[in-house]
Amino acid sequence: MARETFSVVEVNPAHRFARLRPESGGALLHAGLYPEEESPEPQLQLREGDRVEGQRRGQSVADWGWVSRTEPPPDLVERMGELLAKLEGFELRVPATAYDLAEHHWRRSRADPLHQELLAQLPTFFDWELSHPYEDGALLDRLQAAMQPYLPGFEVAPQAGRSAFRLEPGGHDVPAPEGSREAPATTFEPLLLQVNGLLEGAGAPVRWVPTEDDWILSPPGLAELLVLHGVLGPRRE
């Protein structure tokens, strides 16, 4: 089947489709916002002004690939360059250019290199790729290991028959409220608030900072920077 060239004239993220105009003329057609998952194309979202090549199938375009991509806004490229420079101040280095990061951010990349690189360098409390937090038998062990450089001898264990955790040293009992599979952070929030108090008392430079569905262990200024630039998603209050 012959392939044709199309121009993207409208993008509708809410309904996950774009409208394409055949460059040979004719009515507008629809296409998915992202390349097909098995496609070698980068998993980036279409934007108005892009040109793509694909196969016409009824009223839609399938198996499309880019001919050319419109460039991300210059101010976003500049902002990502500033972010990279600031990250180096925290001894975090990301092997990507400001342009690449801007394009991934602007096109809502499914494989955001900045997010992936930072999460590889910053400890998180949950390990969503491993298992759901309620089924993660290593969760408290990871917490203990992460705290040793800042709180030597730190231990945490669930209290038998009670919805609580016991922290050592100090013998603190911390409640573990009932959460849900959709919002497991509720169960662990008092625990990490208490741990942050211990970190502050010890003069540690890091805290467990809440993000959209997790916590990261980082200097608070770094976490605020990542939220400001949309890397970690909105903060939970």
> Are the C-beta atoms of residues 196 and 202 closer than 8 Å to each other?
no
pLDDT band at 1 (very low <50, low <70, confident <90, very high): low
Residue 221 clears pLDDT 90, i.e. is over it: no
| pLDDT score recorded for residue 236 | 44
CATH 2.40.50.140 placement within the chain: 4-68
Report pLDDT digits (tens) over 112-169.
787 777 777 888 899 888 899 999 999 999 999 999 999 999 999 999 888 999 999 8
Which residue do the tokens 């599979």 mark?
Answer: 181
**Cα–Cα nearest to 54, from 106, 107, 5, 113:** 5
Residue 31 clears pLDDT 90, i.e. is over it: yes
Q: How many CA within 13 A on the CB side of residue 170? A: 16
Give the mean pLDDT of 226-236: 61
Say which residues have a Cβ less than 8 Å from residue 229's Cβ, sequence separation at least 6.
79, 80, 83
| pLDDT score recorded for residue 237 | 42
Residue 235 clears pLDDT 60, i.e. is over it: no
**Cα–Cα nearest to 193, from 165, 171, 158:** 165
Residue 71 clears pLDDT 60, i.e. is over it: yes
Instruction: Give the Cα-Cα-Cα angle 232, 98, 206 (nearest 5 degrees).
Output: 35
Which residue do the tokens 């500049």 mark?
Answer: 78
| pLDDT score recorded for residue 51 | 97
pLDDT band at 230 (very low <50, low <70, confident <90, very high): low
% the chain with pLDDT above 90 = 59
CA dihedral over 55, 61, 62, 63, signed as positive or negative: positive
Q: The domain 4-68: what is its CATH number?
A: 2.40.50.140
| pLDDT score recorded for residue 146 | 94
Average pLDDT value over all residues in the chain? 89
Give the range among 15-29, 42-56, 123-137, 219-233 with minimum mean pLDDT: 219-233
Residue type present at position 210: P
